């Protein structure tokens, strides 16, 4: 059930990312929704779940892009694993720690992704710090929103069910 939820979340993230045009700001993507989902799954499900989500999400992203298949997969796999490890070692429930975690995961992902491309001499990244900083902020916010939604949505559904039940009983 959880795996299906992860798959669905990844699918939604991919579709939303492609539909939004990358949420670009000044030509740079402001958020990576797939990465947000991967980190979210890792923090809530552990390193194995994060690893699996990272592998799947990254490969799908790579397959739908013109890049090297596996570059994004590798970066997201490692980030998902590390985020999962981090989530099992530390309590990440407050908003700020969550933002920091998503930002750090974004930075790590950028280091791995850009580093691999730069290492192989396949691509250059002009002004990567700004782009990474913007995306870290965007991913942090998106991540917090994800957590808020995931915590608010079940309660809202429960409340609505309860309200509907009371109306029927009257």
Partner 1 sequence: MALADIGQRPGLLLAAAVTLHVGLISAQVTTSSGRTIFHTVVFGGFSEGQRGASTVVGGVRNVWDSYFALRDVRAENEALRAELNALQVQLQAERSRAERADAYRSLLQLRARVPLETTGAEVIAAGVSPEFRTVTIDKGGSDGVAADMAVVAPSGVVGRVTQPSARASLVQLIVDRNAAAGAVIERTRVQGIVVGVGDGSLRMDFAPATGDVVAGDVVVTSGIDGLYPEGFILGTVERVARGDGLYHEIAVRPAVDFSRLEDVLVVLQRHAPAVEGVK
> Which residues of this protein are in contact with partner 1, per CB under 8 A?
46-48, 51, 55, 68-71, 73-74, 77-78, 81, 84-85, 116, 120, 122
Nearer to partner 1, 47 or 143 (CB): 47
CB of 31 to partner 1, least distance (A): 23
CB atoms within 10 A of CB 70: 15
Is residue 70 within 8 A of residue 56, CB to CB? The reply is: no
CB of 33 to partner 1, least distance (A): 21
Nearer to partner 1, 34 or 51 (CB): 51
Closest CA to 71 of 106, 115, 33: 115
Q: What is the DSSP letter of 92?
A: -
Please report how the helices 128-169 and 95-120 are oriented relative to each other, as an axis angle in degrees rounded to 10: 140
Nearer to partner 1, 29 or 73 (CB): 73
Nearer to partner 1, 72 or 143 (CB): 72
CB of 121 to partner 1, least distance (A): 9
Closest CA to 40 of 87, 4, 104: 87
Query: In Å, how far are 9, 78, 88, 133 from 151, measured between CA atoms?
Result: 15, 26, 19, 27
CB of 89 to partner 1, least distance (A): 13
């Amino acid at each position: 059930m959880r795996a299906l939820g992860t798959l669905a979340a990844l699918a939604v993230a991919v579709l939303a990312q492609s539909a939004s045009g990358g949420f670009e700001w000044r030509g740079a993507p402001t958020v990576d929704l797939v990465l947000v989902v991967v980190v979210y799954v890792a923090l809530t499900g552990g390193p194995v779940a994060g690893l699996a989500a990272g592998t799947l999400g990254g490969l799908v992203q790579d397959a739908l892009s013109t890049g090297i298949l596996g570059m994004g997969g590798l970066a997201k796999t490692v980030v998902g694993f590390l985020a999962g490890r981090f989530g099992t070692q530390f309590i990440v429930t407050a908003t700020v720690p969550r933002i920091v975690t998503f930002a750090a995961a974004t930075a790590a992902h950028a280091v791995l992704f850009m580093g691999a491309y730069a290492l192989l001499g396949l691509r250059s990244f002009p002004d990567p710090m700004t782009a990474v900083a913007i995306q870290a902020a965007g991913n942090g916010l998106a991540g917090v929103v994800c957590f808020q939604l995931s915590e608010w949505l079940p309660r809202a559904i429960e409340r609505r069910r309860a309200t509907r039940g009371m109306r029927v009983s009257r």
